[in-house]
Amino acid sequence: MRVCVKLFAAVRDIAGDEKVELEVSSDADISAVRAALIGKWPQLEPYAQFLNFAVNQTYATAATRVAADDEIACIPPVSGG
Amino acid sequence: MRVCVKLFAAVRDIAGDEKVELEVSSDADISAVRAALIGKWPQLEPYAQFLNFAVNQTYATAATRVAADDEIACIPPVSGG
Amino acid sequence: MASLTHETIDLQSLYDMVATPTAGAIVTFSGVTRELTQGRQTESLDYEAYAEMALAKLTELEQIAKERWPIEKCAVVHRLGHLEIGEASVVVAASSAHREAAFLAAKWLIDTLKEEAPIWKRENWSDGSTEWVHPGLPTGDAP
Amino acid sequence: MASLTHETIDLQSLYDMVATPTAGAIVTFSGVTRELTQGRQTESLDYEAYAEMALAKLTELEQIAKERWPIEKCAVVHRLGHLEIGEASVVVAASSAHREAAFLAAKWLIDTLKEEAPIWKRENWSDGSTEWVHPGLPTGDAP
C-alpha cells in the first residue's frame, strides 16, 4: 500500500518536500515505514534511530501498525520551548 | 531616657497612635522597650511574645541595646505577599 | 529594583525590568487577592508597610537571590493601600540563562518576603468587620 | 487554552486567561530568544510545528497538569515563525489558590512541552549559517 508521511525541520529539508509517499506492505508497522523512508533518502541513515513517528497525531512505537489513510508524521528530536 | 517607637497594624490600632514615646533606663535593650510598651498598653500583654522589634530598620533581638536617637519599630507578625 | 506602590502593579513592566539579552527564561509570580479565605468572604484588603525598612529588606532579598542562584536580574514590587478582589498585591520577576534558576529564585523571593518584609494586610470581610492578619497571634478577641 | 501563534505573545493576556477569583497565585514562565548559545552568536530564530499535533499535545499537557496539581487554570502559547533576539518563543501561565501548585505546574508544563511537543527551532547564526536544532542527533555534518 501507499502511505503518506509528513516531514519536518531538518528531515523535511533533506527530503526537499513536506510530504512524501512511500510504498509499504499492507501489514506495515512504523519500523517498516522508517525503513522505507531511509531507503528513499539514504542521507537520513545516521539519524534513523533518533526519528520518532506519530500516527494520527499520537506518538507511535516501532510496532504500531499503519493503514493507508492514517496521518503519519516523522518527528525528529524536538526543540520547542 | 526617652525612646520613640513606631507602631503598625493591630498594635498601632490598639495604641491609637503610629508613634509612641516610652521612658526606659539609659542602658535599655529591646526587652526593656517591650516591657515599657506592654506596661503602657496592658491590652498588648497576650501578644508580647509575638512582637518583634527593629532598630534602625534591622531586626533586633531581645538583647539589642537601644539609644535615644535610634529608630525603633515594633513589628507584629507580618502578612505581606 | 525593589519598590512599593499605591498604584496597580503592571506585570509587563516587571517583565521588562528583568529582560536582558543573556536571559533565556523569565519567571513571574503574582500574589492576588482571593475572594475566599478559609471559607470567609473577603470584600477587599488593605496593605500597610514600615516602608523604609520594607524597601531595604526587599532590596536585601534581591541581593541574596542573586548570590544564591545564577540569575541575571530580579525585581519585586509590593502594593500598598486598598486592594479589590483580583488585584495583585505583590509581583516578583526573575530572569536567568536557564530556567531552573529563575523558578527557584522567584519561589524563594516570594516565600522569604512573606516571612521577613514588614508589611501587613487587613482583611475587610463581607460582613463589614475588619481584621489585621498577624499569623501566630492568639485569635478570639485578638487585636 | 493552548494555542500557537505567529504574533508577538502578550504576557498580560496569558495572565488574564488564568486569573480567577479563587486564584491567589499566578506564575508565568516565558522562554526568550538569547543572544548567545554555548558561545555562538544567534541572530534570530525560526520555529515550526506539526501544528495540529502540537496543539493536541499542549492541550493534553494542560489536562494532565490540572489532574496532577490543585491548580485553577493554566494556559500555554507557543510562537511560530521568525523571532528576533529577546522575543518570547513560549509563555506558560498557571493559577492556584496557594502558590506551591502554580510554581510546580508551570515548571512541569515547560519541562514537558520541551520534551514532547512537536515543535522545532532553527538557529540563524550571526555568521549567516542556519541549523535546525535536533537534540541528540549526531553533529558535524548533521542535517
ipTM of the complex: 0.94
Bridge partners (DSSP) of residue C45 are C83, C123
pLDDT confidence of D139, banded at 50, 70, 90? Answer: low
How much is the pLDDT for D36?
76
pLDDT confidence of D47, banded at 50, 70, 90? Answer: very high
pLDDT over threshold 50, residue C113: yes
How much is the pLDDT for C139?
58
pLDDT over threshold 80, residue D7: yes
pLDDT over threshold 50, residue C48: yes
For residues C70 and A58, what is the distance between their CA atoms, to the nearest angstrom?
Answer: 37
pLDDT over threshold 50, residue A57: yes
How much is the pLDDT for D140?
44
Residue C115, Cβ density class (10 Å: 0-12 exposed, 13-18 middle, ≥19 buried): exposed
Residue C66 DSSP one-character state:
H
Contact yes or no, D with A (3+ CB pairs under 8 Å): yes
- C13 Cβ partners below 8 Å, 6+ apart? none
3-state helix, strand, coil in chain B (%, to 5): 35, 25, 40
Residue reference for cell 499503519: A66
How much is the pLDDT for C142?
42
Number of H helices, E strands in chain A: 2, 5
Question: Is the CB of B51 inside 8 Å of chain C's CB atoms?
Answer: no
Q: Show residues of chain C in contact with D95, CB under 8 Å.
A: 32
Asked whether A10 and D54 are in contact (CB, 8 A), the reply is no
pLDDT confidence of C35, banded at 50, 70, 90? Answer: confident
Give the H or E element holding residue C99.
helix C99-116
pLDDT over threshold 90, residue C36: no
pLDDT confidence of C137, banded at 50, 70, 90? Answer: confident
Q: Write down how long chain C is.
A: 143
pLDDT over threshold 80, residue D117: yes
Question: Is the CB of D54 inside 8 Å of chain A's CB atoms?
Answer: yes
The closest CB to that of D121, out of A11, A43, A79, belongs to A79
Neighbours of chain D (3+ CB pairs under 8 A): A, C
- The CA–CA distances, whole Å, from B16 to B11, B41, C94, C143 equal 8, 10, 40, 12
Question: Is the CB of D27 inside 8 Å of chain C's CB atoms?
Answer: yes
How much is the pLDDT for C138?
75
User: Residue-wise pLDDT tens for chain B (81 aa)?
Assistant: 999 999 999 999 999 999 999 999 999 999 999 999 999 999 999 999 999 999 999 999 999 999 999 999 999 999 999
pLDDT over threshold 80, residue C38: no
Residue D116: what are its φ and ψ, rounded to 5°?
-115, -25
User: Across the interface, do C134 and B77 touch by the CB < 8 Å criterion?
Assistant: yes
The closest CB to that of C143, out of B10, B57, B75, belongs to B10
Q: What is the pTM of this model?
A: 0.95
Q: Which three cell numbers mark A40?
A: 528513499
Domains and CATH numbers, chain B: 2-75 (3.10.20.30)
Closest C-alpha among A9, A8, A13, A39 to residue A24: A39
pLDDT confidence of A41, banded at 50, 70, 90? Answer: very high
pLDDT confidence of C70, banded at 50, 70, 90? Answer: very high
How much is the pLDDT for C140?
45
Name the minimum distance, in Å, from the CA of D74 to any CA of chain A: 16
Q: State percent of chain C over pLDDT 90.
A: 86
> Residue C68: helix, strand or coil by DSSP?
helix
How much is the pLDDT for D138?
74
Give the H or E element holding residue C132.
strand C130-132
The closest CB to that of D12, out of C12, C102, C110, belongs to C12
Q: pLDDT digit string (tens) for D54-108?
A: 999 999 999 999 999 999 999 999 999 999 999 999 999 999 999 999 999 999 9
- Across C79-86, average pLDDT: 96
Asked whether C32 and D24 are in contact (CB, 8 A), the reply is yes
- Across A48-59, average pLDDT: 96
The closest CB to that of C21, out of D12, D26, D34, belongs to D34
Which residue in A has a C-alpha nearest to residue D140's C-alpha?
A46
The pLDDT mean for chain A works out to: 97
For residues C117 and C123, what is the distance between their CA atoms, to the nearest angstrom?
Answer: 18
Domains and CATH numbers, chain C: 2-125 (3.90.1170.40)
How much is the pLDDT for D142?
42
The closest CB to that of C117, out of B47, B58, B80, belongs to B80
Question: Is the CB of C29 inside 8 Å of chain B's CB atoms?
Answer: no
Question: Is the CB of C12 inside 8 Å of chain D's CB atoms?
Answer: yes
How much is the pLDDT for D34?
87
pLDDT over threshold 60, residue C11: yes
Which residue in C has a C-alpha nearest to residue B47's C-alpha?
C137
3-state helix, strand, coil in chain D (%, to 5): 30, 40, 30
- The CA–CA distances, whole Å, from D108 to A12, B26, D74, D104 equal 30, 58, 12, 6
Question: Is the CB of A42 inside 8 Å of chain D's CB atoms?
Answer: no
How much is the pLDDT for D1?
87
pLDDT, greater one: C138 or B40: B40
- Across D20-43, average pLDDT: 90
- Across D133-139, average pLDDT: 84
Contact yes or no, C with D (3+ CB pairs under 8 Å): yes
Q: Which three cell numbers mark C140?
A: 478570639
Contact yes or no, A with B (3+ CB pairs under 8 Å): no
How much is the pLDDT for D38?
73
How much is the pLDDT for D111?
98
The pLDDT mean for chain C works out to: 94
